[in-house]
Structure formats: C-alpha cells, structure tokens
Amino acid sequence: MLFRQLEYFVAVAQERHFARAAEKCYVSQPALSSAIAKLERELNVTLINRGHSFEGLTPEGERLVVWAKRILAEHDAFKAEVDAVRSGITGTLRLGTVPSASTTASLVLSAFCSAQPLVKVQIRSRLASTELYRRLRDFELDAIIVHPTPEDSRDVDVVPLYDEHYVLLSPIDMVPTGASTLSWSDAAQLPLALLSPDMRDRQNIDAAFAEHGITVSPPVETDSVASLFAQVATGDWASIVPHTWLWSIPTAGEVRPVQLVDPTLKAQIALVTNAAGPGSPVARALIACAKELALDEFFDARSLGITHRR
C-alpha cells in the first residue's frame, strides 16, 4: 500500500467524482482509477460503488477513509517534524475561526508568527462551528478558535483563550448620558441590528433576553462584524457585541459602548486542536503561544479605557 493510493482514495471520497479527484491530484483519471483498484485488490474489499460514475463509498470505504485521512495527516506531521529538527518549524498553519472571533485571532497569531517566522498562515473565518469541528477532525485544519461546548469535546484538546462579555454599542443619544451599564430589558426596547441566529454569540444574546421572557426580532441581521458596526454608525441602530471586538474597531465620535448587566453574560472562546496522534509541529507551537497569552487582561483593560473616555 502506497501513500499515493490513499491520497487518491481520499480525493475521490471528498470530490465524489473521479475526474475532479484526478484533477485535484494532478494525475490522469485512468491512473487514479488504477491506483484505487490496486488498493482494493490489496485490501480484498470494494471501497467505491461504481456505475457510470461515482455512486458513493461502500461501508468498508466509509471506514477506510477515516483511517486514510489520519494516516496521511500523521505522515505529513512526521515529515514536518523531521524538517523542524533540521531547520526549524516551517510549513503552513491552517487556522479556522468562527466569524465573531476573527477580530481577535490576530492577537494569537501575532505571538505565534513572532516565534515562528518561517510558518505561513491560512485563516478560514466564514464557517460555522460544526463545519470547523468537522474539518479539524478530518485533518483539514490544524486548529480552530470557537466557543467550546461539552458535546464537541470528544477527541480534541481545548486551551481557553478568554471570556467574552457583551456590550451595547449605540449612537450616543440613544442611551442616557453618563450611563455605563444597561439592563437587557432596556436594551430590548431599542432598535437593534444583531448577528444572524445561526451564530453562537447571537444564541447567547437570545438566551440572555429569554431570562427576562423577551424574544427579540431585530429588523437587521448579519453575519458580518464590519456590517454590524456600519449599521450602528448610521445613527439609526444599536447592537449587542462581544467586548473583545472593541479593541480592533474604533468607537470614536457618535458611537459608544455600554456594558450589559442583569445578567452579566460571559462566553468562553478557546483554541481547539485535534487530540488524535502527536499533532503537527505548527499546531503544537500555536498551543504553546496561546498558553502564554493573557487575553482577558488585555481586553478588559482596553474595554474599560474605551468606556471611561465617553
């Protein structure tokens, strides 16, 4: 059995099409089909249901694709380990982050890139948590930054990064002058632009309103951090955002943040990596950097400074 055969098989499983898989692997379709057929003969099983085209994996194929992804990932990790011993950590860090944490991922990466200048970084920031966890477990991502939950905790290692709490971001004339806090009940009375319901921060926000028996139906919903700030900047809308957003997007002029209380809601953000195998050198280096950070102190100091300037 050759690694190339496993690569071709995984490509077919992912693309669900022989021609596209061959193109992805930079080989001819006959060469790809021949390699997979040889793999089936070596294992004495049928891996792919074939008709006039790809018709899905057999039960044996479904099991093998999981092992094939792991074998290929550990093979790549081994090669990276050898290169790291010879010349330092190189390669590419594939990082996924939920959209609401995309504004803070740069702080984690700043420390990492300073410590590992030879490593390139690819960031995926438009994916839902479920898809991020899937790609992590399928070895398509090295690490993800998400809201961790007990149901997603299997086969992963979790390093807490910081706790979010929520602030009302509004035009200065929309809340009482000098107010530094606001209740969720009072916030519900304002014209709101909020994150879309599929996002974890929005689900946390809805849960806080639900504690007061309130269901909000905001006229504006978006999955974009920049769009949410732009809505508030028009002067027509208020929004509810994690306080960790405030450091990267100035709230000068006619916009001010006010802390939301009753309840003071917190939500953890963590760095999550795949617990299967020894892991790649880039993932281990990222974990080491993350453990040295004190992001709670960083965000709290800056959010207090912003509030005090109002």
Whichever domain contains 48, its CATH number is 1.10.10.10
Residue 125 confidence (pLDDT) above 80: yes
129 and 244, same domain (yes or no)? yes
Question: What range does the domain containing 296 cover?
Answer: 90-309
271 and 152, same domain (yes or no)? yes
114 and 71, same domain (yes or no)? no
Residue 310 confidence (pLDDT) above 50: no
- Across 84-140, the runs of DSSP E, i.e. the strands, are 91-97, 119-124
Q: How many structural domains compose the chain?
A: 2
Average pLDDT, the chain: 86
Query: In terms of Cα–Cα distance, which of 265, 139, 240, 146 is closest to 187?
Result: 240
- The answer to the question of residue 239 being in a domain is yes
Residue 304 has a pLDDT of: 52
Residue 280 has a pLDDT of: 84
Residue 250 has a pLDDT of: 61
- The answer to the question of residue 181 being in a domain is yes
- The answer to the question of residue 84 being in a domain is no
263 and 164, same domain (yes or no)? yes
119 and 148, same domain (yes or no)? yes
Q: Do the Cβ atoms of 222 and 196 come closer than 8 Å?
A: yes
Last residue within a domain, chosen from 32, 53, 78: 78
- The answer to the question of residue 83 being in a domain is no
231 and 195, same domain (yes or no)? yes
Each residue's pLDDT tens digit, 10-49: 899 989 888 899 999 999 988 998 999 989 888 899 998 8
38 and 104, same domain (yes or no)? no
110 and 70, same domain (yes or no)? no
- The answer to the question of residue 120 being in a domain is yes
Half-sphere exposure in the Cβ direction for 270 (13 Å, CA): 17
36 and 168, same domain (yes or no)? no
Give the span between the Cα atoms of 283 and 279, in whole angstroms: 7
- The answer to the question of residue 142 being in a domain is yes
- The answer to the question of residue 286 being in a domain is yes
Take residue 68 and report the two structure tokens written for it: 């094939």
Per-residue pLDDT band for 91 (boundaries 50, 70, 90) equals confident
Each residue's pLDDT tens digit, 252-281: 567 888 889 888 888 899 999 998 876 788
Last residue within a domain, chosen from 36, 53, 78: 78
- The answer to the question of residue 85 being in a domain is no
Give the CATH number of the domain where residue 109 resides: 3.40.190.290
- Residue 2, helix vs strand vs coil: coil
Instruction: Tell me what percent of the residues of the chain surpass a pLDDT of 70.
Output: 93
187 and 264, same domain (yes or no)? yes
Last residue within a domain, chosen from 15, 43, 78: 78
10 and 136, same domain (yes or no)? no
For residues 304 and 228, which has the higher predicted lDDT (pLDDT)?
Answer: 228
Give the span between the Cα atoms of 5 and 25, in whole angstroms: 11
Residue 224 confidence (pLDDT) above 50: yes
65 and 128, same domain (yes or no)? no
Where is mean pLDDT largest: 86-90, 98-102, 277-281?
A: 98-102
Q: Whole-model pTM?
A: 0.73
Q: Do the Cβ atoms of 8 and 49 come closer than 8 Å?
A: no
